[in-house]
Amino acid sequence: MSLKVIVVLLAGFLAWAYLAFCPPPPRLCGSIGGPAIEGPRIKLRDGRHLAYKEHGVPIERANYKIIYVHGFGSSKHEAAIARSELVEKMGIHLVSFDRPGYGESDPDPKRTIKSTALDIEELGDKLGLGPKFYVIGSSMGGQLVWGCLKYISHRLAGAALIVPVVNYWWPSFPSSLSTEAYYQQFPQDQWALRVAHHAPTMVYWWNTQKWFPPSSVISGKANFTAPDLRILSKYGSSMGIRDYAKQQGAYESLHRDLMVSFGKWEFDPMSLDNPFVGGEGSVHLWHGVEDGLVPVALQRYIAKKLPWVQYHELSNAGHLFVHDDTSAKDAVLKSLLTGDK
Ligand SMILES: *[C@@H]1O[C@H](CO)[C@@H](O)[C@H](O)[C@H]1NC(C)=O
């Protein structure tokens, strides 16, 4: 082969690799050709906008103020918990928001666990939730509540983590336990997490290429167990990855979530201290025994390591229980807001 041919082939390969690895720029909300801005937004410290949605009683009448953090592939419209009867009865004002890159919130290419906690704090300030408010998060949103306990605990009245996603690389896990759980996942998920953890620059390519199966959650083939399948059939496709959530593109929403959630963390939740030593608030962790996405064995280990976290385990519940089960929703709210067991 002549040098010329080699140079041409190499240039061709680099051009292909560049296109395959580089995500397209996000379709910003409000930009020409981008999605419209329909709901209210606040402007954050670095100029980004955060879209939010208010539920429950008006803020002026509220006894309790809560910020709700949504899961993977979802948006501010995921706030089934706000449909509990207790919301009116107890006087709850609940704010959900599109996490950066989702829905109508600007992407944050520098997004971390910490930056999300600071976004939540700023949202509380801009909406006048007062010096202290509650946070509730579900799934990947539940995992982000660990960040609130680490970085903005002085602003919290209490916290509930519902089926929070675990990071298999948190150092406090005995490696036998986390390794065993890791290899119980589908091989395609082991690979998706490996790429997210070890080679984040390849995340876009990995989750868009056609040679190997991508993350089962992204491809809609997640390991949902019987209780979850019942909920999914009841609500149909409205429960899945909604178009609204990723309307600005999958990279700064879904793919960024994988990098943040399964990347290297600045802290290990299992080494957090109790933020409420005087009992002025409480922290609750909810998990279902039939959760096929987040292994219950790891959640039990976390609960054992953190005796100040009140652990609630539901026997016939999967990963999606809070989207349906009325009594579970009420129990989450009651235990968090009144300390009732
Ligand atoms: C699916 O979920 C069940 C129930 O939690 C679990 O026993 C099993 O290991 C999971 N399978 C995969 C491939 O994640």
Judge if the beta carbon of residue 216 lies within 6 A of ligand 1.
Answer: no
Judge if the beta carbon of residue 227 lies within 6 A of ligand 1.
Answer: no
207: left (phi over 0), alpha (psi -120 to 50) or beta: alpha
Q: How far is the CA of 207 from the centre of ligand 1 (A)?
A: 22
Q: How far is the CA of 199 from the centre of ligand 1 (A)?
A: 26
Residue 135: predicted pLDDT: 98
Minimum CA distance residue for ligand 1 atom 2:
292
Judge if the beta carbon of residue 225 lies within 6 A of ligand 1.
Answer: yes
Minimum CA distance residue for ligand 1 atom 5:
292
Residue 139: predicted pLDDT: 97
Residue 274: predicted pLDDT: 97
Q: Which atom of ligand 1 is nearest to the CA of 289?
A: 5
- Tell me the CATH number for domain 25-337: 3.40.50.1820
Residue 266: predicted pLDDT: 96
> What single letter denotes the amino acid at residue 304?
K
- Where do runs of H (alpha helix) occur along the chain? 3-21, 86-90, 113-126, 140-151, 175-183, 187-198, 203-206, 226-235, 256-262, 296-305, 326-338
Please choose from 165, 182, 184, 190 the residue to mutate so as to test ligand 1's pocket, defined by most ligand atoms within 8 A of CB: 184
Q: Model-level pTM?
A: 0.94
Q: How many CA atoms lie within 13 Å of 38's alpha carbon, on the beta-carbon side?
A: 7
Report residue 59 as tokens: 């803020």
Weakly modelled stretches of the chain, pLDDT under 70: 1, 236-241, 340-341
Report residue 172 as tokens: 């406090």
By C-alpha distance, which of 152, 104, 79, 109 is closest to 323?
Answer: 79
